[in-house]
Amino acid sequence: MTKRDFITVEDWTPEQVDALLALAVRIKRGEVSGGLERKVMAMVFMDPSLRTRTSFETAMFLHGGHAVVLEPGKSSWSLETEAGAVMDGATVEHIKDAARVLGRYADVVGVRSFPRGGDWASVRDDRIVRDFARFCEKPVINMESTRRHPCQQLADAMTLRERLGDPRGQRFVLMWAWHPKALPTAVPASAALAAAHQGMEIVIARPEGYELDPDDTALIRKIAQERGGEFVHIMNDPDEALVGADVVYVKSWGAVKQFGRLEEEALLRQGLRDWRLTAPRLKSTRGGGATVMHCLPVRRNVEIDDAVLDGPTSAVVDEAENRLHVQRALLLELLR
Ligand code: CP
């Protein structure tokens, strides 16, 4: 039998994803226990985490299993990711070997790997997490790569359903925000895909130069249309975009065209600090109080103001909580 990985949500059918979300709802209600006794998850964090690490460790514990955390270059050997590398430099172990060995110890392996420079064309294929899946004999879960954060996408889908009831036809605005660093596009693409799967109307508000990868934009449009929603359009004025929003998903991301050229990218974002969700801007949304989402961590009063994050329509902590429920469902589905 071939193993099943979880690299992108779109690798699974809509029916499989709906079943996962339904199981997550039952888990949240306290209706599901056990199922992962004597199972082990190995998590490879090539980049830091608060939510992903804690929610997966908690999920394994709650169902009777165990989680092991590896931090290459810190508490475990630094990993070489290039095929055919002559490893006479700083890296000690090839991911090919690490993936094969972890597959012998663990029942499932999670990998987090953000982009590490280079140009966009060379990193947009999510090769590191896909190589892990290729070489590991056990299921591999993408815990955030260059292009996707599928666990966040599931949690965001669950949160949209909780907050909106039936999200179909409601307006989802993905709003770019200023941030001191150029961040990956995995979360904004995944968030818009979550809304597309729910059949929502989707607006992307971003300054000129901050387009998502064209393939991601096309996929968001295609899925929204297939699921009865609509891709309304891309706007470069946050005030115009927020009018009539039912949900505002705030996220910063780096310019793909300047990817890996940090000084050039920093020049592009100069003068864009006004791209921030403030209380007056939230007032312009539908009913003056759209649901506010962000994957966290968030730069307070830089991406979103305190008054909004701590206000009654903020769903950011629910999204973080739902990471636990959807990941419990995912682990049960992959390992039971
Ligand atoms: N949202 C999210 O993935 O959080 P962490 O980076 O803390 O895991």
One-letter amino acid of 34: G
**Cβ–Cβ < 8 Å for 99, 105:** no
**Cβ–Cβ < 8 Å for 297, 125:** no
Q: Which atom of ligand 1 is nearest to the CA of 54?
A: 8
Q: Which two tokens stand for residue 50?
A: 């608060």
List all residues 6 or more positions away from 242 whose beta carbon is below 8 Å from its beta carbon: 173, 175, 205, 248, 281, 282, 284, 285, 290
* Spatial distance between the Cα atoms of 252 and 188, rounded to a whole number of angstroms: 8
Q: Tell me the three state secondary structure of residue 79.
A: strand
What is the CA(151)–ligand 1 centre distance, in A?
10
One-letter amino acid of 239: D
Mutate to test the pocket of ligand 1, among 44, 45, 47, 50 (most ligand atoms within 8 A of CB): 50
Angle at the Cα of 209 from the Cα atoms of 258 and 270, rounded to 5 degrees: 80
Position 113 scores a pLDDT of: 97
Position 1 scores a pLDDT of: 62
Give me the average pLDDT of each 10-residue run along the chain (336 residues). 92 97 98 98 98 98 98 96 96 98 98 91 94 98 98 98 97 98 96 97 97 96 94 89 97 95 94 97 97 98 98 98 98 96
- Token pair 């961590």: residue: 297
Nearest CA to ligand 1 atom 6: 49
Stated pTM of the model: 0.97
Position 198 scores a pLDDT of: 97
Q: Which atom of ligand 1 is nearest to the CA of 50?
A: 7
Element (H, E) at 249: strand 247-251
Residue 199, CA distances (Å) to 61, 154, 259 in order: 35, 15, 31
Q: Which residues line ligand 1 (CB under 6 A)?
A: 49-52, 144, 152, 295-297
Share in percent of the chain as helix, strand, coil (round to 5): 40, 15, 40
* Spatial distance between the Cα atoms of 203 and 157, rounded to a whole number of angstroms: 17
